Structure 1
């Protein structure tokens, strides 16, 4: 994914609410949200070119989401595996804590830059791999945003969608989840030049990528996805898909009961 905002509220009836956009080339082959062949307990979209996923969930109460870190100066090891495999591995490993710790101690350096969120009803981890550092932390309670840099980096689109989710909590709009935040996630307005981050890709591309919802013929927002994870481990997930120039390509909703 390229933009996520989420509310992490452990020790409540609904620990996690998350909504995010996946931006990608429209020609890249993709399987829509569905249960995975050979892994009936896992649901998510799938990248059919390199494998893996950007957002998926496992029955019993595990969620994994990925954003790339945008940094042309980050040297990618030859033959680096797809970062989308991290989502798959997070949902299939036997011990999340041990697996994440091993990645944070150096195994993650095999990959290009990324942020990996992994959640259960009790814990939410963030593994960050960039040119400057490799870190594993538990996310503090609150409303957060994540794009192609650090957690809560003050990019205009991140601040906008995070503010929308925060306002929904403050004004008790969550009964209509995710409509208020969905409007912010699907806003195509680009940031002014003076507000743009500098990630080394040039002003024109920075401006295009500054929109929460990117509308383009070749590249753009392919999906808006949202999910909830409750204290019992029940997960509800929806994916709204888009084609070139933001054309509607359908919507899918799935429920993954905890089975407990």
Structure 2
């Protein structure tokens, strides 16, 4: 791997950690428990930044037909479920255990693809299976299956993300009003504080930059190499979170986290021979 690819992968790891840490700070430390507002802010900012960078010629979006946009809507709804449930889960769970539950989606997606494509599953991949279930992992896993089986393959990753951003921002805005999150957020005690505003701004910018870095990384590295760097980013984020946030893990949870990363290491390693 040349120096440029290593630098990009390291930037990805830094943005990965920064994105999850700022989200965790706003959701847990500042206790901003209004996911429709928080995720609506992030997706609307992401859509705006993607539009601006496209107009400036920094990223390439070729454009898409109305039918292609409509065919992406099931994926967009799964994307909304992913970020909404993920926001709620991240606010309540330590970062290491949040990644444990996230990895269940990988197993779910793998099993679904194995069934739909009638592939013989690898025992090494099944070794990393878990029995927990949640809305977050269901949406993440189902979205990955949707991406593998969708007929909108002519849409680029950035075009798909732009549709997801726009759909999420519009739907979450309406949900924020109907659920009362909007009025609750206006009464939030930290609303005018520098820490809250900095955290929200950082979460949106880091999230957008992480998305761009992820798309770029997938474009220049093989899938198995991307999996290695994503695994490294998760391990670093989990380890650093123990010193950054007030995280108390029981011996059982420590064992679960270690078992999770052992399983994921096998999963990543097995990709080399898939």
TM beyond 0.5: no
More strand by share: 1
Q: Give me the TM-score of the superposition, normalised by structure 1.
A: 0.30
More helix by share: 2
Relative contact order, higher structure (CA 8 A, sep 6+): 2
Please tell me whether Structure 1 or Structure 2 has the larger radius of gyration of its CA atoms: 2
